[in-house]
Structure 1
Amino acid sequence: MESWFLNDWFISLSPIYQSLFGGLFTWGLTALGAAIVFFTRNVNQKVLDAMLGFAAGVMIAASFWSLLAPAIDMATAQGITAWLPAVTGFLMGGLFIRICDAYLPHLHLGFPMEEAEGIPTSWRRATLLVLAITLHNIPEGLAIGVLFGAAASGIEAAGGATVASAVVLAIGIGIQNFPEGTAVSVPLRREGVSVGKSFWYGQLSGVVEPISAVFGAAAVLLVQPILPYALAFAAGAMIYVVVEELIPESQLKGNTDIATLGTMLGFAIMMLLDVALG
């Protein structure tokens, strides 16, 4: 039985369309956050750092409550050694982002151009900033798609993956995408980029989410035995992004306490959403 907040029409959709709508929702909140730039070119650095910490907390909580725990339950239901898919998929997800990180040109928020990562390029700072956010939005979209695919797998009762839990994950990721959109557009505006371009680059980082969500759902529907591995893969990719990018960026300006409290709040809210609604 699905949760009270779900519409029958949405439940009746195929997981591909559910994933698409989930990804479009998270993209929309990224754009909404980027739209802050139309009203101000300055957001207090402490606020930005707290927002980045909040995003990190949401992703950490989602990685366990929405992805790793169902992966372990599904493995048990399939008669697989419970820890094997979780550990294997988790490490593969982190390795995937590490490889992307090594080759895709990008620049983390708050860092000078000299510290751009990936292969050398002449691309502009704005492009590299967007690519950095885009890189960590890929596992978020995958997570949404994989969970919707898992809900349609026929083993949701045993695995704990339902349409409701997938919707909750999309809501949580959407909430943390709002500050990410702001964290891209406002610094660009501060550096003299026009309002329109600052907004464009801010929302552009979220475009990849509906695409990767649909890909994730299609992959697990075609090859259902990979479900627990796919869930853990998305979790590993998200945790790698949190540790390598979000937490360092949130504390770069010295606002460590505020950023840490933001992380705690984000974790608590995502945990609340998942337990109460999922």
Structure 2
Amino acid sequence: MFAENAMFALGLTLLAGLSTGIGSTLAFFAKKTNTRFLSLALGFSAGVMIYVSFMEIMVKARVALQADLGDVAGVWVSVISFFGGIGLIALIDKWVPSYENPHEMHRVEELSPAGASAAFESGEMPDIGNGLDSEAGRKKLLRMGTMAALAIGIHNFPEGLATFTAALSDPHLGVAIAVAIAIHNIPEGIAVSVPIYYATGDRKKAFIYSFLSGLAEPVGAAVGYLLLMPIMSKTVFGVVFAGVAGIMVFISLDELLPAAEEYGEHHMSIYGLVSGMALMAVSLLLFL
């Protein structure tokens, strides 16, 4: 079953990761950030990921572990693996500097000179010291954008493993998680594009950096495939799956919901959260 789903899982992960390019494209062609849509979409993503983590992924992980380790030990290992996944993504998050952290949301309005100045003055983008027109200022902005791309790549690595592992077990579940990850990657594409565009004045280069930052997800999936396939068993599957659930819950609570709130539409983010849970619940019921 795992080998048959591997190429499908890799393809899903690639599509989810490269959606950072969608964010970059929107940044260059939209005149204004649609905050209501982003709040709704990010909340929806969180709802999908939280629901499947607790109602589907953790259940499958526990069943697999109990089959190999026994009822009591299986439950213990599934819980420990869940919090292990949270610890892993929390450590990655801790290593990322404040501005380069992809959780810091940016708006397409920052791509206008007036918007950039306002972003600097408000602290949404750090002071570059010598202004947008200076060589030193442009170099500093380029470094910010490059670091943002690197940070997003680091964050996307475990997300790729999460999407890949879910799709290996259940292609339908993998599609749902891939869509949720793709939505959450769109604002990250904006976060990379804004500083790189101002550093270089080159929309193409900003798009390429943003696009490439998403490649970490299929890389994460490929590494997961190479490491896991030779040793795959019910215990390994259960541990990885429970860890994936922890990663997705942390991403939802630490990234998606705060980002939805940051765009200023509290109720839209909650409506999206509930809608994501409801749609995921109905979808899973239809595939029983």
Q: Which moved more, 1:103-112 or 1:188-197?
A: 188-197
Cα offset for 1:71?
A: 0.2
SS at match of 1:78: helix
The answer to whether the 8 A contact 1:109-1:129 is kept is no
Q: In structure 2, what residue type is equivalent to 1:231?
A: F
1:77 maps to which of 54, 63, 67: 67
Q: Verify: 1:68 aligned to 2:78, yes or no.
A: no
Q: Which runs of 5+ in 2 are unaligned?
A: 106-122, 127-139
Which segments of 5 or more consecutive residues in structure 1 lack a partner in the other structure? 1-10, 115-121, 150-160
Q: When the two structures are aligned, how many residues end up with a matched partner?
A: 246
Q: Distance in 2 between matches of 1:57 and 1:12?
A: 27
1:233 is aligned, of 243, 261, 264, to 243
CA contact (8 A) 2:18 2:215 kept: no
Question: Which secondary structure does the structure 2 equivalent of 1:82 belong to?
Answer: helix
CA deviations 1:239-271 (Å, max 9, x no partner) are: 112212221121124321111111222222333
Match of 2:215 in 1: 207
Contact 1:49 1:250 in 2 (8 A): yes
Q: Are 1:102 and 2:60 matched, yes or no?
A: no
1:125-170: CA deviation from partner (whole Å, max 9, x where unpaired): 3234434543443332112333455xxxxxxxxxxx4xxx2x2233
User: Per the alignment, in what secondary structure is the counterpart of residue 33 of structure 2?
Assistant: coil
TM-score, normalised via structure 1 length: 0.74
Which letter maps to 1:137?
A: N
Q: 2:252: which partner in 1? A: 242
2:156 maps to 1:137: yes
Alpha carbons of 1:139 and 1:64: their partners in 2 closer, same or farther (altered >3 Å)?
farther
Question: Is 1:112 aligned with 2:124?
Answer: yes
Please, what is the CA RMSD of the aligned residues? 3.0
TM normalised by structure 2 equals 0.72
Identity of matched residues, %: 26
| Contact 1:130–1:201 (Cα < 8 Å) also in 2 | yes
Q: 2:33 aligns with which of 19, 43, 52?
A: 43
Deviation for aligned residue 1:231: 0.5
Q: Distance in 1 between matches of 2:157 and 2:267?
A: 29
2: CA distance between counterparts of 1:143 and 1:188? 23
Q: Which has the larger radius of gyration?
A: 2
8 Å contact from structure 2 (residues 38, 263) kept in 1: no
Q: In the alignment, residue 228 of structure 1 is paired with which amino acid? A: G
How big is each residue's C-alpha offset from its partner over 1:18-72, in whole Å with a ceiling of 9 and x where there is no partner?
A: 4322322323444345433453242222222222222222221232244211101
| Distance in 2 separating the partners of 1:66 and 1:139 | 19
